[in-house]
Homo-oligomer: A and B are copies of this chain.
Amino acid sequence: MKINDQEVAFEIEGKRYHCAMDITMDYIGGKWKTVVLWYLRNDKKRFGELRQLIPQITERMLSIQLKQLEEDGLVRREVFATKPPLKVDYSLTDFGRTLLPVLEAVAKWGRELGHSKGELVEIKSGLNKG
């Protein structure tokens, strides 16, 4: 990366990265993005479906993550304004699909660690909202 007095970097849409890991982690880093992308890997999902699939996420965080994923071109948002009850679908774009091998590797590693070292725990919760 360093050539004498000069360093080399990549710029993608105004953002500067210093190596390949950097780039990828900027797209999928953080606590939620991989999880959201994972649940979109097969088919489109609605906002409420994602909420139920990821009980720990708040509406606020889900909203923010989806918006960022959309801005990054990984996720497509489709609105069907039927009546007052809105219908919004989220799905992976083709660009988002290029991430699938990465997501699969990440999921596989976690899954295997969970099986070898993890203990299964059950959490009772009367309703989702404690």
Please name all residues of chain B whose beta carbon is closer than 8 Å to the beta carbon of A102 when the two chains form the complex: 102, 105-106, 108-109
Partner of A7, one of B1, B19, B107, B123: B123
A71 within 8 A of B: no
Known A7-B55, A10-B120, A55-B2; contact A105-B107, beta-carbon cutoff 8 A: no
Chain A at the B interface: mostly helix, strand, loop or mixed?
mixed
A38 within 8 A of B: yes
Stretch at the interface among A28-36, A61-69, A77-85, A86-94: A28-36
Partner of A8, one of B11, B17, B99, B120: B120
A42 within 8 A of B: no
